[in-house]
């Protein structure tokens, strides 16, 4: 779980630094930028999800040869994907921004941020694949070390570039890129030590691409699912920005809490995924323990939001107009904990079962029924936007729960028949 906290920590550091600058446009631009960057890049988290799933399966079978080749396979895919994305961003970003209905000031900041961040895509995707591999072989402590290194370097450079060199959103982006390259070097060292300790069990197999068509089918399904999910958050950010810059900035602060919640709940999902893949005969106890873990996280977040939510927002920004709006929408975050919690847990369960199509279908149905019909063609208030986001998460959880119950009944009938 601590490893998962490093990613939202980076978002909090960036938002808190820009939130204390005089111009709210910086924070608003960060919200749009991170939304677009997520849509462009984080949609490919299907690579890391697929890597951790198939690595855990190979590790459970004690097939160390295949475990090594999973790293080789997914590292190569990550680097090639990153190079293509870098070229696409440099060429197609400005035409894409012309389609967005926000101020020219915001477009300039967004373009600056994303073009700088694109230089760090190669190490970032490589780091994601490596962390997924370490998770798959049940070495999460290495993932924790890697992410602590990245967070620490990024925080130090953020402060130096913004407050010493008087940079703004460009300094935040540059700090992230430098941190990613340095972290990638540490990741290579960790990988070399891991392979060196088991050198007799590892060798590269060039034919792995032909033998594992299932990997690409699984990853392709997750890619579509991630694309739909990120489209929802991208539209949410753009709709908020179309209201005004203060609304976009307040949403940016609130979304740091959403990212934190998502990352912590993903910890229960990752636990379920790896344990189910490694211990398929102990599924009942694993499902119960990870579900209880998820419920504890949700209860803790609800208590924290009610008790210190406003205090946290005040720490993130000192701009009165932004904080007044953020306070109004804070209750929606608490509701989001309840509407989304089941979907995060079931993500891990379905990954362990290798049922990526259920994840895709649930997101697609939720988007078509609970979000897209209400956000297209309507001038929504920010309260209505947060309601639509909660409705989307509720539908997603509901559909996934139906799939889960059907599978449990099928397994129960199978045991009864045997």
Rounded CA separation 6/330 (Å): 23
Report how far apart, in Å, the C-alpha atoms of 383 and of each of 99, 239, 243, 327, 380 are.
25, 12, 12, 12, 8
Structural domain range at position 28: 2-417
CB atoms within 10 A of CB 71: 23
Rounded to 10 degrees, the C-alpha dihedral 34/30/123/192 comes to -90
What are the pLDDT tens digits along the chain (418 aa)? 544 555 556 666 776 677 666 666 676 677 667 666 765 666 566 677 677 777 777 777 777 777 777 777 778 888 888 888 888 888 887 787 776 666 677 778 778 888 888 898 889 888 888 888 887 777 777 877 887 888 888 889 988 888 888 888 888 889 989 998 999 999 888 888 877 765 555 455 555 544 555 555 666 677 788 778 878 887 887 888 778 878 887 887 888 788 778 877 876 777 777 677 667 677 788 888 888 888 888 999 899 888 988 888 887 777 788 888 989 999 999 999 999 989 988 988 888 787 888 988 999 999 999 899 888 877 889 999 999 999 999 999 999 999 999 888 887 766 544 4
DSSP string of 251-311, one letter each residue = HHHHHHHHHHHHHHHHHHHHHHHHHHHH-GGGHHHHHHHHHHHHHHHHHHHHHHHHHHHHH
Rounded CA separation 117/174 (Å): 7
Which pair of tokens denotes residue 192?
Answer: 């070399």
Dihedral class, residue 324 (left if φ above 0, else alpha if ψ from -120 to 50, else beta): alpha
pTM, entire model: 0.71
| Cα 36 → chain centroid | 13
Q: Which residues contact 148 (CB under 8 A, 6 or more apart)?
A: 6
Rounded CA separation 285/346 (Å): 15
Residue 186's pLDDT is 92
∠ Cα 67 119 154 (to 5°): 80
| 3-class SS shares of the chain: helix, strand, coil, % to 5 | 90, 0, 10
How many structural domains compose the chain?
A: 1
Which residue reads 């608490």 in tokens?
A: 334
Rounded CA separation 308/66 (Å): 47
């Amino acid at each position: 779980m601590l490893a998962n906290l490093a990613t939202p920590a980076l978002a909090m550091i960036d938002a808190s630094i820009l939130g204390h600058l005089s111009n709210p446009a910086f924070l608003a631009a960060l919200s749009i930028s991170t939304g677009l960057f997520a849509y462009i890049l984080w949609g490919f988290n299907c690579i890391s999800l697929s890597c951790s799933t198939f690595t855990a399966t190979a590790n459970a079978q004690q097939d160390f040869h295949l475990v090594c080749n999973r790293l080789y396979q997914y590292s190569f895919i990550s680097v090639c994907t990153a190079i293509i994305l870098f070229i696409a961003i440099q060429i197609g970003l400005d035409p894409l921004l012309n389609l967005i209905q926000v101020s020219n000031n915001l477009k300039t900041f967004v373009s600056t941020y994303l073009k700088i961040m694109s230089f760090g895509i190669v190490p970032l995707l490589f780091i994601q694949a490596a962390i997924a591999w370490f998770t798959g072989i049940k070495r999460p402590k290495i993932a924790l070390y890697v992410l602590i290194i990245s967070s620490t370097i990024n925080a130090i450079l953020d402060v130096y570039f913004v407050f010493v060199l008087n940079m703004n959103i460009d300094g935040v982006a540059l700090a992230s890129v430098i941190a990613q390259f340095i972290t990638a070097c540490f990741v290579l060292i960790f990988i070399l030590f891991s392979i060196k300790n088991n050198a007799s069990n590892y060798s590269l197999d060039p034919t792995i691409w032909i033998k594992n068509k299932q990997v690409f089918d699984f990853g392709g399904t997750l890619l579509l699912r991630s694309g739909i999910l990120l489209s929802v958050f991208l539209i949410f950010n753009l709709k908020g920005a179309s209201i005004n810059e203060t609304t976009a900035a307040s949403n940016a602060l609130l979304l740091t809490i959403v990212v934190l919640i998502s990352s912590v709940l993903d910890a229960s999902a990752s636990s379920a995924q790896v344990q189910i893949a490694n211990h398929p005969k102990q599924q009942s106890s694993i499902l119960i323990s990870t579900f209880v873990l998820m419920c504890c996280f949700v209860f803790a977040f609800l208590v924290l939001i009610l008790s210190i939510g406003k205090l946290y927002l005040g720490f993130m920004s000192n701009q009165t107009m932004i904080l007044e709006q953020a306070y109004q929408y804070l209750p929606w975050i608490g509701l989001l904990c309840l509407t989304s919690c089941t979907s995060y847990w079931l993500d891990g369960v379905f990954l362990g079962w290798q049922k990526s199509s259920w994840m895709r279908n649930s997101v697609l149905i939720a988007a078509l029924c609970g979000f897209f019909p209400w956000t297209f063609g309507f001038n929504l208030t920010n309260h209505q936007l947060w309601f639509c986001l909660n409705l989307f998460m509720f539908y997603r959880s509901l559909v996934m729960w139906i799939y889960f119950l059907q599978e449990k009944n099928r397994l129960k009938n199978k045991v009864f028949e045997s």
